[in-house]
Amino acid sequence: MNDLEKYFEENNKRLIHKLSHYFDVYDKHFSRFRNKELTILEIGVSQGGSLQMWKSYFGDKAKIYGIDINPKCKELEEENIKIFIGSQSDRKFLREIKKSIPPIDILIDDGGHTMIQQRVTYEELFDHINNDGVYLCEDLHTSYYLSYGGGHKRRGSFIEYSKNFIDYLNAYYSEQRSLKVNYFTKNVSSIHYYDSIVVVEKQNREKPTQVKSGETSFENITPKKGRINRGIKKSFAVRRFNKILRLFRLKSIIIK
Ligand SMILES: C[S@@+](CC[C@H](N)C(=O)[O-])C[C@H]1O[C@@H](n2cnc3c(N)ncnc32)[C@H](O)[C@@H]1O
């Protein structure tokens, strides 16, 4: 049992509402921040129990911020816990928050869990997370709830949206204009999917370089490029012709 689970089991302070397997995920990604100077923002305060849990887990040097749409939550402020009242889908409100809090080390989205709320929060706050910081969005099961704007493979569900992260992470290897290196490519080192949770670990990175060490044992057999490409290589004339067809939106008759 990790310290978060222990805290939860013994909790007689404010109410905490989580799925039971979340504590393992939190501990795995958050433990390196314990007892350090730290800024943490959790969207979704509810009864204030999780903010108190973070305070106990991370220690006195942690600055903890919460956001909730319910004005009553303001009453739950205490030493090292500050709460902002507003909606996580209000871009203007989130931009104001960015101006008033330091760059974030850990961002947890446990708010209203609709697709638009999760997407707007990610889009507005992701760049306010420090290099080496963590973004965690939980209760992703709402991506499968029609009433939340989700649904299996439904366009715009947060799960579908976040699948693009996988391409961004690998964009250094893209040979097509449809996938370009972006902020995510340059600032993220890993993405972790769990049941109902996605975690994104930030870290500045450049295009990886190939490295080798040790002695060669035998000559590698490299297939001749011409052979591999023979089937798919298009002549210059065909490529030109296809480009013209595309210009006139005649994709359906493009020559293979
Ligand atoms: C699941 S509860 C948070 C639970 C809390 N983090 C805990 O672990 O005990 C979700 C909270 O999100 C808040 N919420 C709902 N819609 C919101 C929105 N658009 N912006 C901010 N908070 C919202 C609700 O008022 C509610 O308090």
* 201 confidence band (pLDDT: 50, 70, 90): very high
Task: List, chain by chain if needed, residues with CB within 6 Å of any ligand 1 atom.
Answer: 16-18, 42-46, 49-50, 67-70, 87-89, 110-112, 117
- Give the residue, by CA position, lying nearest to ligand 1 atom 16: 112
What are the beta bridge partners of residue 190?
Answer: 201
- Cβ neighbours for 130, distance < 8 A, ≥ 6 positions apart: 39, 103, 104, 105, 202
Q: Is the pLDDT of residue 193 over 90?
A: yes
Residue ranges of domains in the chain, CATH in brackets: 3-202 (3.40.50.150), 225-256 (no CATH)
- Give the residue, by CA position, lying nearest to ligand 1 atom 3: 44
pLDDT, position 68: 98
Q: Which atom of ligand 1 is nearest to the CA of 117?
A: 19
* 6 confidence band (pLDDT: 50, 70, 90): very high
Residue 136 tokens read as: 């965690």
- In sign, the C-alpha dihedral spanning 184, 33, 118, 19 is positive
Helix (H) or strand (E) holding 163: helix 158-169
pLDDT, position 133: 98
Q: What is the pLDDT of residues 181-192, one digit of tens each?
A: 999 999 999 999
What are the beta bridge partners of residue 84?
Answer: 67
* Nearest to 201, CA basis, from 103, 119, 135: 135
In the chain, pLDDT over 70 holds for what percent of residues? 93
Q: Is the pLDDT of residue 256 over 90?
A: no
Q: What distance in angstroms lies between residue 45's CA and the mean position of ligand 1's atoms? A: 5
* 150 confidence band (pLDDT: 50, 70, 90): very high
Is the pTM higher than 0.85? yes
Mean pLDDT (the chain, rounded): 93
- Give the residue, by CA position, lying nearest to ligand 1 atom 27: 46
Choosing from 88, 115, 138, 148 the residue with most ligand 1 atoms within 8 A of its CB, the one to mutate for a pocket test is 88
pLDDT, position 252: 56
